Amino acid sequence: MISLHGIERSFLVGDETVHALRGVDLDIAAGEYVSIMGPSGSGKSTLLNVVGLLDRPDGGRYELDGRDVTGLAEDDLARVRREKMGFVFQFFHLVSRLSAAQNIELPMMLAGIDPLERQRRLQQLLADYGLEDRARHRPDQLSGGQCQRVAIARAMSMKPAVILADEPTGNLDRHTGQEVMAVLERVHQSGGSLVLVTHDPEIGSRAKRRLRMRDGAIVGDERG
């Protein structure tokens, strides 16, 4: 489903060029559960952003469902993101003035989904993620674990083909982290792909496929 060929991404820092990704080749099939581990600065987040179409590679080819998305215009990229990608971030990134329910609704609102359908899906998501009694609460009235559950529900609201999670447990204690992982894995079990960046070997080892990165390149790819 996802197919990267020779992806390059470099940043200009001062007058030095930092190669965040060096010729990355990667194929991810539909429904796969992949974890990405590696030292800090090895390019994990950059890779995830490229896969999620948040960032454009400087070189190489990216095919999504057989379609070349490397050269798509900004607004087309936005539409593909909306339809196919779900993001979960380390810092949750909830809009603080909106309630949990309104945060979950955001992608559906941007996609212009009919309010009735939206309401139906919202109720389902609140039930699925155990947030029914928190729907009207604002993020500052929720615990970290609840915030991340809201973020996951939001990522799932458009029924994306891929969930991209960048250190989703990085800001949670061990116990809450385990809970959030269980929720994320449920998402994966319902048929979507899950790509997870983590520093925690215990969490990383739960994935069926485990990538290892160093200096902008994939140096390990274990399965099973």
* Binding region for another protein (CB under 8 A): 49, 52, 54-55, 74-75, 78-79, 81-83, 85, 87, 89, 91, 93, 95, 97-98, 102, 106-107, 109-112, 115, 154, 158
Pairing of strands 33-37, 16-28: unpaired
Cα distance between residue 80 and residue 31, in whole Å: 18
Cα distance between residue 177 and residue 77, in whole Å: 31
CB closer to ligand ATP, 18 vs 113: 18
**Interacting residue with ligand ATP among 2, 4, 20, 77 (CB under 6 A):** 20
Q: What is the CA 18 to chain-centroid distance, rounded?
A: 24
Q: Which does 97 bind (CB under 5 to 8 A by kind): another protein, Mg ion, ligand ATP, none?
A: another protein
Binding of residue 198 to Mg ion (CB under 5 A): no
Q: Which does 93 bind (CB under 5 to 8 A by kind): Mg ion, another protein, ligand ATP, none?
A: another protein
Determine the straight-line distance between the first and last CA of the chain, rounded to whole angstroms: 20
DSSP 109-171: HHTT--HHHHHHHHHHHHHHTT-GGGTT--GGGS-HHHHHHHHHHHHHTT--SEEEEESTTTT
Q: Which does 41 bind (CB under 5 to 8 A by kind): Mg ion, ligand ATP, another protein, none?
A: ligand ATP
| In the complex, minimum distance from the CB of residue 10 to ligand ATP, in angstroms, rounded to a whole number | 8
Site string for Mg ion, 41-70 (x = CB under 5 A): ----x-------------------------
- C-beta of residue 10 within 8 angstroms of C-beta of residue 19: yes
Q: Which does 54 bind (CB under 5 to 8 A by kind): ligand ATP, another protein, Mg ion, none?
A: another protein
Cα distance between residue 197 and residue 170, in whole Å: 10
| In the complex, minimum distance from the CB of residue 214 to Mg ion, in angstroms, rounded to a whole number | 14
Q: Which stretch binds ligand ATP (CB under 6 A): 38-46, 115-123, 135-143, 153-161?
A: 38-46
Q: Is 159 left (phi over 0), alpha (psi -120 to 50) or beta?
A: left
- C-beta of residue 33 within 8 angstroms of C-beta of residue 185: yes
| Contacting residues toward ligand ATP, per CB under 6 A | 11, 13, 18, 20, 38, 40-46
| Contacting residues toward Mg ion, per CB under 5 A | 45
